Amino acid sequence: MDELALNILDIAYNSVRAQSTLILISIIDSEKKNMIEICIEDNGCGMDTDMVKKVTDPFYTTRTTRQVGLGIPLFKENAELTGGKFYISSKINHGTKVKATFIKDHIDTPILGDIVETMITLIQSNENIDYIFEYKNDDIDFMMKTSEMKDILGDVKINEPEVLLWIKDYMKEGLPK
Amino acid sequence: MKSLEDLKKIREEAQNRMTMRLDDEQKYRVVVGMATCGIAAGARPVLNTIVEEVAKEKLPVTVLQTGCIGLYTLEPIVEVFDKEGNKTTYVLVDVEKAKEIVRRHLIQGEVIEDYTVGKYKK
């Protein structure tokens, strides 16, 4: 995966599958600190400590059709390759938190990529999940809560194509080019 | 500048449209494989292209995501189901092919044989 936004999508799908109703995605992208920090936190079904150990192992997966699950190991390796760190914590019935830091100017740090596309894809996947998305760099702090949008939309689904197009433009306006 | 208030207008428009069109009048259901293998192969822009084109053309089409469809080497995969349940599986789809699938299949009703899984398995 050549952009961090794709890692984020892949990790957040784990939260979707964990029956979360709220997923927080935050990105801190700081030149000053020379660091990118990505955090994905959910209120889903969570995992016990044994399972947490296993999911960082590339030869572990919950699926039964294939033996290898790569999402979390890939993200972990990406972070550690740059001298960054990877954390995961989880509690049964409470949720899971995954955090990774990257040294921004390290040659192996992937570009952040198209985070707008990632968020649109996630919102599209299931209208019942709420997202809180935050992006901060040294100049701006952009925050978006899908629950606020749903309050206005009423019985119109947030994943109607017309709504998704609007969210896309809204995010593009709020985020740096 | 966009504000959340814009959503009120979108809501009204969507409500008007919904009274005209019920879910069972959807002509096609499009399913895009979005597991790790699909994402790595480029499924995200394919999905978003289809969503965007469907919105622009206001097509009676439902777009859904699924996990791994099971043919990793042929990802990104897009499945199109018609109202009778007939399935067309498009493989190795990119943004250009996705646009073509919307135009030729979802609008004109033509199955693009060259992009289907049958073509690659032969």
Q: Mean per-residue pLDDT for B10-27?
A: 72
Residue A120 maps to which CATH number? Answer: 3.30.565.10
Residue A61: strand, helix, or coil: coil
Q: Mean per-residue pLDDT for A43-67?
A: 75
pLDDT of residue A39: 98
pLDDT of residue A26: 98
Residue B116 maps to which CATH number? Answer: 3.40.30.10
Q: Which two tokens stand for residue A160?
A: 């109607």
Q: Is residue B16 part of a domain?
A: no
Nearest CA-CA distance, residue A165 and chain B, Å: 7
Q: Mean per-residue pLDDT for A46-54?
A: 87
Residue with tokens 């938190």, as numbered in its chain:
A97
Q: CB neighbours (10 Å) of residue B87?
A: 11
Residue type at position B117 = V
* Beta-carbon contacts of residue B103 (< 8 Å; ≥ 6 apart): B53
Closest CA to B27 of B60, B56, B76: B60
Percent of chain A topping pLDDT 70 = 92
pLDDT in tens, B64-89: 998 766 677 888 999 999 999 899 99
How much is the pTM?
A: 0.85
Percent of chain B topping pLDDT 70 = 89
pLDDT of residue A71: 80
For residue B46, the enclosing domain spans 23-121
pLDDT of residue A68: 44
Split at pLDDT 50, 70, 90, the class of A67 is: very low
Compute the distance between CA of residue B82 and CA of residue B68 in angstroms, rounded to an integer.
21
Q: CB neighbours (10 Å) of residue A177?
A: 3
Q: Is residue B92 part of a domain?
A: yes
pLDDT of residue B122: 52
Q: Which two tokens stand for residue A22?
A: 């709220």
Compute the distance between CA of residue B49 and CA of residue B45 in angstroms, rounded to an integer.
6
Q: Is residue B37 part of a domain?
A: yes
Element (H, E) at B120: helix B117-121
Compute the distance between CA of residue A166 and CA of residue B52 in angstroms, rounded to an integer.
10
Average predicted confidence (pLDDT) for chain A: 90
Split at pLDDT 50, 70, 90, the class of B115 is: very high
Task: Say if the Cβ atoms of A152 and B40 lie within 8 Å.
Answer: no
Q: Is residue B78 part of a domain?
A: yes
Chain B contact set for A114 (CB, 8 A)? 44
pLDDT of residue A1: 67
Residue B114 burial (CB < 10 Å; 0-12/13-18/19+)? exposed
Residue type at position B25 = E
Q: What are the start-end ranges of the H helices in A59-100?
A: 71-81
Mark A8-21 as b/e (b = at least 16 C-beta within 10 Å).
bbbbbbbbbebebe
Q: How many distinct structural domains can be found in chain A?
A: 1
Signed CA dihedral, A108, B72, A123, B99: sign only: positive
pLDDT in tens, A104-137: 999 889 899 999 999 999 999 999 999 999 999 9
Number of H helices, E strands in chain A: 6, 6
B39 touches chain A (CB under 8 A): yes
Compute the distance between CA of residue A20 and CA of residue A96 in angstroms, rounded to an integer.
10
Chain B residue with Cα closest to A162: B55
Q: Mean per-residue pLDDT for A11-25?
A: 93
| Nearest residue, CB atoms, B45 vs list A117, A153, A164 | A117
Compute the distance between CA of residue A88 and CA of residue A40 in angstroms, rounded to an integer.
10
Q: Is residue B13 part of a domain?
A: no
B46 pLDDT exceeds 80? Answer: yes
Compute the distance between CA of residue A98 and CA of residue B29 in angstroms, rounded to an integer.
33
Chain B residue with Cα closest to A66: B70
Q: How many distinct structural domains can be found in chain B?
A: 1
Q: Which two tokens stand for residue A64?
A: 């039964």
Q: Is residue B51 part of a domain?
A: yes
Disruptive mutation site among A15, A119, A125, A162 for chain B (greatest number of B CBs within 10 Å): A162
Task: Say if the Cβ atoms of B65 and A66 lie within 8 Å.
Answer: no
Split at pLDDT 50, 70, 90, the class of A66 is: very low
Nearest CA-CA distance, residue A68 and chain B, Å: 11
> Between residues A1 and B109, which one has the greater pLDDT?
B109
pLDDT of residue A74: 86
Chain A contact set for B68 (CB, 8 A)? 63, 65-66
For residue A47, the enclosing domain spans 4-174
Compute the distance between CA of residue A144 and CA of residue A132 in angstroms, rounded to an integer.
6
Q: Mean per-residue pLDDT for A151-177?
A: 91
| Nearest residue, CB atoms, B39 vs list A9, A166, A170 | A9
Q: Is residue B8 part of a domain?
A: no
